[in-house]
Amino acid sequence: MTVDIRDVSKSYGGVEVLKSVNLTLTNGVTCLSAPSGAGKTTLVRILLGLEQPDNGFVLGLEAASLAAVFQEDRLLDRLDAEGNLRFVLGKVYDDKQAGALLEELGLKDAGGKAVGEYSGGMKRRLALARALSVPFDFLALDEPFTGLDGENRKRAIACIRRRTAGKMVLVVTHNPEDAAELEAKIVGLEGANQIF
C-alpha cells in the first residue's frame, strides 16, 4: 500500500498551518516529527478525511480501512473496557481476542470498572486497544504514549509492533525515543518532500 500526499496546504483564519507538503508513505511505521503548531495533527486529520486541504490532495486511502488514536481519548466513560471495544466492533466482538488485547496492554485487571474512573494512562491504553481492535489498513496515532509511565509505554510500544506488522502506521510524537523503539522511519514537516 502507498499513500501519496501531494502539495497539501491548509490555513485557519488566514494562518498557514501546512504549506505544500509532499510525502509518500508505505507500509511500516513512520513517525511524524515537528515542533508544536507545525501542523502534524492537521495532516493526520486530512489523512483521516476529517479535514479537507485548501490545496493539494491525498491518494491511496480512498478504499482503505482507517483507525486512529486522537490526542483526546474519545472513550465512552460509562462503559467498561470491554464495553468500549464491543461498541466499536459490534457483531464481530470476540471475548477471547478482546481479553488478550486488554491483557497485553495491562488492562485486564480493570474488570467492570467504568472508564470514567480510569487514570489518564489507563484511558490512553484503552484508546490504543480500541484502535488496534478494528481491522485497518492505515493507523494514525497522535501522541499515543501521553500519560504512560515507563513500563506501560514499553508495553504499548511492544503491542503496536506486534499488532501492526505489515500495515501502514503514522505516529505523531515529540519523543525521538518513540521512533527508535518502534523501529520507525522519521519524517519532519519542514520541507517535507520525502518518500518512505
Domain ranges of the chain: 2-195
pTM over cut 0.85: yes
- pLDDT tens across 40-56, in order? 999 999 999 999 999 99
Query: Amino acid letter at 139?
Result: L
Return the CATH class of domain 2-195: alpha beta
Q: Count CB neighbours of 97 within 10 A.
A: 13
Q: Once rounded to an integer, what is the mean pLDDT over residues 24-48? A: 93
pLDDT of residue 190: 62
The pLDDT mean for the chain works out to 93
Q: How far is CA 122 from CA 12, 65, 177, 196, in A?
A: 33, 26, 21, 32
29: helix, strand or coil: strand
pLDDT of residue 176: 85
Q: Distance between CA 132 and CA 142 in Å, rounded? A: 14
